[in-house]
A and B are shown apart, each in its own frame.
Chain A
Amino acid sequence: MSGLISRNLKMYFNDRSGIFFSLMGAMISFVLYLAFLSQNMITSWSKVPDTKLLLDPWLIGGTLTITAITTTLSSLSLMVKDRESHVLADINLTDISYVGIQFAYIVTSVFIGVIMQLIMYFIMGIYFMIVDNSSLDLTIFPQVFGISILSSFTWTIFNLLLLSFVKKVDTLGKISSIIGTASGFFAGVYMPIGTLPTTMQNLMKYTPAPYNSAMYRNILMNAQLNKSFNKLPVSVLSKFKEVMGISISWNGALTFQQDLLIFISFALVISICVFLISRISRRLVLSKV
């Protein structure tokens, strides 16, 4: 199986333009933020001190969620391509079992998701360190690393479910651009979740995306939140957290642990769906030459 995993990894990392496009959603959010989002938000939260230092990690959190969604999708797309170009049938001739083949694509995708999130984390962190004098706090790295694994896994499973229905490479391109754009909204990056209409907010809450961003933001912004809000009333802090999607509210704000729990539940439910569907898709793969 290691043979297939290393082949899949090489396929991803050898394809420079593929990497570029898989990071498109993340780069758009970054550029939008630099161009005007950040200024808008600083103005609307002018009574909070050091807003910029607060918003930089806020952006990083959301952008990492986008990165997890789009890079795992891009990595898993290889499976659809391989199916269509008969590569899967050819791999099936080797000693790797069918389950092993599926597993190899999943491992590859989780791995790529983690690596790309960490790369984005350091790129953005260092950028803001240079430009805004934000600090890149390495003591929280273990938590960031943990969340990156969890989100990479969840989005891999999510995208696996999505791609079970995709049989043509044609469709793949369309799906990636839809997901690329939608991820920025659902992760609450293009616009803070609290500024959206309630129906839209509710729709978002039925996907894992806002919880993913919330977890990241909790970890990344914790230190600065304490600093910026220590002279302000608690109600202002709660309001800020809710509007900015740092805590998601379901009849009251969720804690980090609750976000985590909901996120893991999503992963479990989706895993079960994938398992049920894989029985059908196996027949499809093996019947197709």
Chain B
Amino acid sequence: MKLLQATSLTKKFQNKIAVDNINLTINKGDFVVFLGPNGAGKSTTINMLTGIIQPTSGQIEFDEKTTINREYRNKIGVVFQSSVLDANLSVKDNIMTRAKMYNKPTQIQLLINKFNLESIWKQKYGSLSGGQRRRVDIARALVNNPELLFLDEPSTGLDIQTRTAIWDVLNQLRHDTGLTIILTTHYLEEAQTADYVYIIDQGKIIAEDTVSKLQKQYTKNILTLYYQNGESKELTVNDKNQAIKILSDNSQAISDFEYRPGTMNDVFMNLTGKEIR
């Protein structure tokens, strides 16, 4: 079911086009990723979708309605790329004062448990580690029980354990409440688990689809052969039959091999001719 739709969204800054005529359809309950290098226009897109800046042209519809009303803002949560929480206040104050800014009741205790905030509850936000901060950021964005959560590069600079922990909670929430998530990232692994991916470069969507379809369309499977003499060779192959044939032809010469489908990294490379980072 369609939740959010953007049509011909464009944002110009002075004479620079940050977002160039993009169309998006976000389905309810999906985990959608905007993947793109620095300066691609991801944050600008998010800022337009959240109503923080006005698009130069184009429409945004949420549940068939325009987004300029308070009702819409009530249904979204946002984690900004650079945190907007108060470093001088405790985690508790940051979250509780935020909760009081909404008219509807909130489930703070649930968030404390889910994001494991008990031990840092009284600590000043400014004294937390990067990973702890992100946990608080996300918990605070969820204070109003949004239907749609925007996360602008939430995991930049976090180690793999912290990222995994955060994703465990978010996935659980998606499962329990049907939360829809829009994430921007340039971590390709994070795009790997998405329901739908928009690849953005220089303000344009250069490809969009599910992960498996993108991989199928823009990459080939890769077979790496490791020879007895220590050399190795990388081959792109169309399907498993071709791979098996190559392997049996070379079975005497090789010591080992590796067979993998193309990744999002290969998709990005093939689309733009450059590495994402």
Contacts and interface: CB of A to CB of B under 8 A. Distances in A.
Interface of A: 1-4, 6-7, 10-11, 14-15, 85-87, 89-96, 287, 289
A75 B216 CA distance: 58
17 contacts: A3-B97, A3-B100, A6-B100, A7-B86, A7-B89, A7-B93, A15-B88, A87-B84, A90-B84, A93-B51, A93-B78, A94-B73, A94-B98, A95-B102, A95-B103, A95-B104, A96-B101
Contacts of B52: 86, 89, 92-93, 289
Sorted nearest first, the 5 A-B pairs with minimum C-beta distance are A3-B100, A94-B101, A7-B97, A3-B101, A90-B84
Nearest to B82: A86
Interface string B72-105: 0110101010101010110001001111111110
Given A10-B89, A95-B102, 6 more contacts: A3-B98, A7-B93, A10-B93, A86-B82, A94-B98, A96-B101
Contacts of B96: 3
A91 B98 CA distance: 9
A55 to B, nearest CB: 39
Contacts of B82: 86
B70 interface: yes
B47 A289 contact: yes
Nearest to B97: A7
Interface string B20-53: 0000000000000000000000000001001111
B265 to A, nearest CB: 31
B152 to A, nearest CB: 11
Contacts of A87: 84, 86
Nearest to A18: B88
Interface in B47-66: 47, 50-54
Contact of B97 (A10, A89, A92, A95): A10
Contacts of B89: 7, 10-11, 14
B80 A86 contact: yes
Contacts of A10: 89, 93, 97
A255 B103 CA distance: 48
A239 B267 CA distance: 88
Contacts of B98: 3, 7, 94
B59 to A, nearest CB: 19
A4 B100 CA distance: 8
A180 B85 CA distance: 29
A4 B89 CA distance: 13
A93 B50 contact: yes
Contacts of A90: 78, 80, 84
Contacts of A91: 101
B88 A14 contact: yes
B86 A11 contact: yes
A96 B86 CA distance: 18
A287 B88 contact: no
A6 B97 contact: yes
B228 to A, nearest CB: 60
Contact of B53 (A14, A93, A95, A287): A287
Nearest to A82: B84
Contacts of B84: 85-87, 90
A91 to B, nearest CB: 7
B226 to A, nearest CB: 51
Nearest to A14: B88
A87 B80 CA distance: 10
Nearest to B100: A3
B147 to A, nearest CB: 14
Nearest to B89: A10
Among B53, B78, B80, B84, chain A packs the most CB atoms within 10 A around the CB of B84
Contacts of A96: 101
A52 to B, nearest CB: 42
Contacts of B78: 90, 93
Contacts of A287: 53-54
A1 B101 CA distance: 6
A89 B80 CA distance: 11
